[in-house]
Amino acid sequence: MTTKPETSSSAQEHSHYKLPFNFGLGGVPLGNGFSIISDATAEEVLESAWTSGVRYFDTSPWYGLGLSERRFGHFLHNKERENFVLSTKVGRVLKATHNIPETMWHAPSPFEYEMDYTAAATRRSIEDSLQRLGLNSIDIVYIHDLSPDNKDLGEHWMQYFEQAKKGAIPELTRMRDEGLIKAWGLGVNTIEPILATLEVADPDIFLSATQYSLMYHEDALNRLFPAIKAHGASIVVGAPLNAGFLTGAYRYDYEGKMPDGFKQKRDRMIAIAKAHDIDLRTAALQFSSAPEEVAAVIPGASSRKQAAENVISMQTKIPEDFWAELKEEKLIAAHATVPI
């Protein structure tokens, strides 16, 4: 993988962490997010990604209720720790149970969860994650799903934000200042929580999922990226393929309803891509990676083949005329940054 060039930032209380890799592997599929995959297949996905050059790995206690973290750790504990970057998340504390709650996960681990953004829960969550991973350190910690789209929070999400403002945010800041982690931010599927956090704290990096893709990006361009740039922080783009939609799957994002007209928009993009002898996955990954505010993109993969193809897409040259045609047909924003 290539490295992301460092950009200058406005003066802050500390030097914000710069992610050294522009591409990574997201952990939702390895938590059985869309279908059940075996431990052997998960190992093949991770091995394929590593062999292809991937060195940034993102997971969470939420993904498969601990399953994704265990699978990542089983693979990564055999690697030299200084050779890869790992991020995970806090906000849900897992507890063993005989009554596994109904969630989006297929055949998850036998845990229930409690939403908790206090300092004590944050510390416990990180310690639990390290045990599941079998590793001695985590590089980046994202405060997870502190957002109105989280059904466990809903309209009360700001109450939980106040809890995090007194708990998780200062706790992660202390851990960063003590050198226990390198960076922290939020991992969310909406923009408002990121903007709110920038007003009250000094985070480094945000995992912004579903907000910057070929299909949907103008809100991030107009509101999110200017705030990120002013702060000197950065963005990791999650779900750059809209959970497989841009590779042909008939689903949009994780649990979202298919927006009106999006299938037709995708079909037109596929036709234009084919005319320029590329595929839409390649265009989507490179598009999401192009802005200077973006540190990395992290698509998931559920097979060895997908993991390798995602890397190849990042290395494929896309004709300039392709992007010009998308803008001419108003399929992407006129002011969107495109790969050079």
Average pLDDT of the residues in 1-10:
45
The DSSP H or E segment spanning 166 is: helix 157-166
Domain boundaries, the chain: 25-328
Q: What is the mean pLDDT of the chain?
A: 95
The DSSP H or E segment spanning 128 is: helix 119-133
Distance of CA 278 to the CA centre of its chain: 25
Question: What is the pLDDT, as a whole number, of residue 2?
Answer: 53
Task: Kindly indicate whether the domain formed by 25-328 is annotated with CATH number 3.20.20.100.
Answer: yes
Distance CA(334)–CA(328), nearest Å, equals 8
| pLDDT of 324 strictly over 80 | yes
| pLDDT of 238 strictly over 50 | yes
Question: What is the pLDDT, as a whole number, of residue 1?
Answer: 60
The residue annotated as part of the active site, out of 56, 63, 212, 252, is 63
Distance of CA 98 to the CA centre of its chain: 30
Percent of the chain with pLDDT over 90: 93
Question: Is there a catalytic annotation at residue 63?
Answer: yes
Average pLDDT of the residues in 175-187:
97
The DSSP H or E segment spanning 322 is: helix 320-328
Question: What is the pLDDT, as a whole number, of residue 166?
Answer: 98
Q: Let me know the angle formed at the C-alpha of 189 by 10 and 149, rounded to the nearest 5 degrees.
A: 130
